[in-house]
Amino acid sequence: MIRTKIIATIGPAIDDYKKLLEICKYADIIRFNFSHDTEKHFERLKILREIEKRLNKKIVAMADLEGPKIRTGNKKPINLIASNEYDISILEIDKKEFYEILNAGDILLIDDGKLELKMKTERTFKPLNDYLLMPHKTVSIKGKDYNIKGLTKRDLENLEKIMERDFDAIAMSFVKTREDVKELKAIAKDKIIISKIETLSAIRNIDSIIEESDGIMIARGDLALAINEEKVPTFQRKIIKKCREMEKPVIVATQMLDSMIKNPNPTRAEINDVYSTVLDGPDALMLSGETAAGLFPIDAIKTLYKTIKEAEKYAKYEETREKDKKDKIAKSAIEIAKTLKTSIIAPTKHGTTPRKIAKQRPQFQFYVVTDVKKTFNYLHFFYGISPAFFDYEPVFKKAEKIKKIFNLKKALFVFGYPPGNHNTNTIIYL
């Protein structure tokens, strides 16, 4: 078993029941991208729940909202030549928020950066490369964020349907401030909220966004359009470290094995990227197009799994600072478990103790029991945690039953007493 969690994106490539079943053997979380196939997702969710029962394994369903993207309005392809100058109207962008921040000298990144345009004046541009621009492609202005509300009309419509279904988590795109997160939390009160870091404003407000969110996703593709691409690895490491310190799960996403959308084997650079990212210490890695629309989705997730497994053999994670006595007890429990060569079980209501242990990045998987559904779902995002849903109180009377869930004869129990007090103050070997 690996300790770093895997997230796979669902889509046409794994709509086949057998393929999705195979994907779920490796994935802890399935992402539903609400930029595409909105109505189809609700059928997919039903199938996912059937597979869950068949595998006897909880699979967290995460709805990923599209967010405030600006797109070109062209209905037909436009052939743009680098030596020519064009009027901005050819792109048919009808959003006032775009023109409010557009200036001469700006660099426009179209279709996720595949096309670059330089504004010569506020109305004219020159392409920096030849490109056949297909309809409705994304538009970013390098180094600038649009002044658009966090949740769009489309997001709110999708949210209404999402809240009626059995989704466990919601990812919010293009988060800029903690107020954006609060807006979603007010609507999705019982859901796990993951904030996607892909704007310049999010980088500036990262501490307060982490604090307000249940978890963070480093969306490297869009982030590289907002900041200089060579800075993305630096921010990736900084955000991972901050999330560990603040005991929030952090996901690294985008282009992990991008070439496997079309090819059965990854590039060596992609393998190195996955391997190095695992050494940074994230809680989870995510596949996007590789599983949603790729030709080799099962090969992609198997490649991700075996690369994570190899990297974890040699991972030596930086120690985090001790904020309180709960951190000291969590560290002590890990050392005792290593000395006794035994497993850790952390009974919990709110997830306090398991989060303290996961933060230390132990070199082994550990087990958690909880009788709170949201806590059970949430802990699937964290490094190293294998959770079970079980009415565990009183711990001492039910210790044998708890160990039996995980096929253990002996275990080091670590928890807070009395139950539900957000504390970590008890270690006992049973």
What are the structural domain ranges in the chain? 5-66+148-310, 78-141, 325-429
In angstroms, the CA 344 to CA 337 distance is 7
Residue whose token pair is 């275990």? 411
Decide the pairing of beta strands 385-389 and 115-119: unpaired
Asked whether the beta carbons of 328 and 295 are under 8 A apart, the reply is no
In angstroms, the CA 284 to CA 62 distance is 13
The region of weakest confidence among 195-199, 221-225, 272-276 is 221-225
Sign of CA dihedral 212, 101, 71, 233: negative
In angstroms, the CA 284 to CA 161 distance is 27
Structure tokens at 337: 């478990």
Whether the upstream peptide bond of residue 354 has omega within 30° of 0, thus cis, is: no
Neighbour order of strands in the sheet with 107-110:
86-87, 124-127, 115-119, 107-110, 139-141
* pLDDT grade for 265, boundaries at 50, 70 and 90: very high
CATH superfamily to which 78-141 belongs:
PK beta-barrel domain-like (2.40.33.10)
In angstroms, the CA 64 to CA 292 distance is 13
**What type of residue sits at position 321?**
R
The region of weakest confidence among 142-146, 291-295, 389-393 is 142-146
Using the predicted structure, report yes or no on whether residue 88 has a pLDDT greater than 80. yes
Domain 5-66+148-310 classification at class level:
alpha beta
Q: If you average pLDDT over every residue of the chain, what do you get?
A: 95
Using the predicted structure, report yes or no on whether residue 420 has a pLDDT greater than 80. no
Using the predicted structure, report yes or no on whether residue 10 has a pLDDT greater than 80. yes
Question: How confident is the model over 202-222, as a mean pLDDT?
Answer: 97
Convert 34-73 to b/e letters by CB count within 10 Å (16 or more is b): beebbeebbebbeebeebbeeeeebbbbbbbbbbbbbbbe
CA angle 271-4-317, nearest 5°? 85
In angstroms, the CA 64 to CA 182 distance is 16
Neighbour order of strands in the sheet with 343-348:
385-389, 366-370, 343-348, 411-415, 426-429
Alpha-carbon distances, residue 161 vs 81, 157, 254 (angstroms): 43, 7, 26
pLDDT in tens, 159-177: 999 999 999 999 999 999 9
**What type of residue sits at position 318?**
E
Q: Does domain 325-429 have CATH number 3.40.50.1000?
A: no
Q: What pLDDT does 348 receive?
A: 96
Q: What pLDDT does 142 receive?
A: 92
Using the predicted structure, report yes or no on whether residue 117 has a pLDDT greater than 80. yes
Half-sphere exposure of 3 (CA within 13 A, CB side): 24
Using the predicted structure, report yes or no on whether residue 189 has a pLDDT greater than 90. no
Query: What distance, in Å, lies between the first and last C-alpha atoms of the chain?
Result: 24
Q: What pLDDT does 322 receive?
A: 85
Asked whether the beta carbons of 359 and 244 are under 8 A apart, the reply is yes
Q: What pLDDT does 419 receive?
A: 78
Asked whether the beta carbons of 38 and 60 are under 8 A apart, the reply is no
Using the predicted structure, report yes or no on whether residue 37 has a pLDDT greater than 90. no
Structure tokens at 416: 């807070």
Question: How confident is the model over 14-39, as a mean pLDDT?
Answer: 95
Residue whose token pair is 């809680």? 283
Q: What pLDDT does 418 receive?
A: 83
* pLDDT grade for 417, boundaries at 50, 70 and 90: confident
Question: How confident is the model over 43-52, as a mean pLDDT?
Answer: 97
Question: How confident is the model over 50-60, as a mean pLDDT?
Answer: 97
Q: What pLDDT does 202 receive?
A: 97
Decide the pairing of beta strands 86-87 and 115-119: unpaired
High-pLDDT (> 90) share of the chain, %: 91
Structure tokens at 392: 């565990």
pLDDT in tens, 118-132: 999 999 999 999 999
pLDDT in tens, 274-326: 999 999 999 999 999 999 999 999 999 999 999 999 999 999 998 888 888 99
